[in-house]
Amino acid sequence: MAVAGTVRSTTVNRVTEMTHLVGIKQGLTAQLTGFDKNTGPIYNPLAPPVRYVDNLRSAFLIVESVASTGTWIILNDIATIHFARWVILPGDQQLLFTSNFDGSWEQYIHDFVTIANSGKPSKDNASGTKWMDLIWGNCEAYTGTDDLAQFLEWIQSLMIETTLFFPTISDVTVRDISWLRQFRRIFGEFDETALGVDRTQWPPGLLAAYDQMKRDINRIDVTDA
């Protein structure tokens, strides 16, 4: 196991990664049987207790089922995430977490804590569910995020070095992608409206700029799609 503070995430240009490996608790616990968007996780004290790893799988199924409906979930509010991946490794003893994100590791963890684990009800988290607790609460030595310094130490002590980090696109942030997607939509609407306007009525400079933009966008579509 790495000593706290000795393993750091790797940054390439504007994209950073982190890899975290933690043991899953052994023994039995109350069974997680469902989720209510208004009240949060549902545990059945009358059901037979289950292994922590089984509750962990149930937690992932809850996140997956909510996200698969197209519903905006609280993790979407962390606007810097390129992707996040949790893997229960063969043998059911360890949980691997990997993520790529924009900006610094410190800011990323801060966003996770203040957005996904604040415990405060919000538009995207009506129940105020602490999503990090729901997942990592099944793991060894996890004490929650109320004490941020203690949590950061826990995260760092279990980070493992990434031997090779190779993002194919490292100069574009998630916010950039969102902006470009919206620009494409807005320009498409503008272009459709412009088709119905007499080109002879356009100021020459505006018409030239419009035609140049159309050529450039079409070239990008052909060469970079």
- The whole-number mean pLDDT for each consecutive block of 10 residues of the chain, a chain of 225 residues, reads 58 92 96 91 92 96 80 76 94 96 88 89 88 95 92 92 88 83 86 86 88 82 48
How far is Cα 151 from Cα 153, in angstroms, rounded to an integer? 5
Is residue 105 exposed (0-12), middle (13-18) or buried (19+ Cβ within 10 Å)? buried
Q: What is the pLDDT of residues 71-116, one digit of tens each?
A: 667 777 888 889 899 999 999 999 999 999 998 888 888 888 998 8
* Per-residue confidence (pLDDT) for residue 3, from 0 to 100: 39
pTM of the entire predicted model: 0.80
Q: How far is CA 177 from CA 68, 85, 172, 174, in A?
A: 21, 20, 7, 5
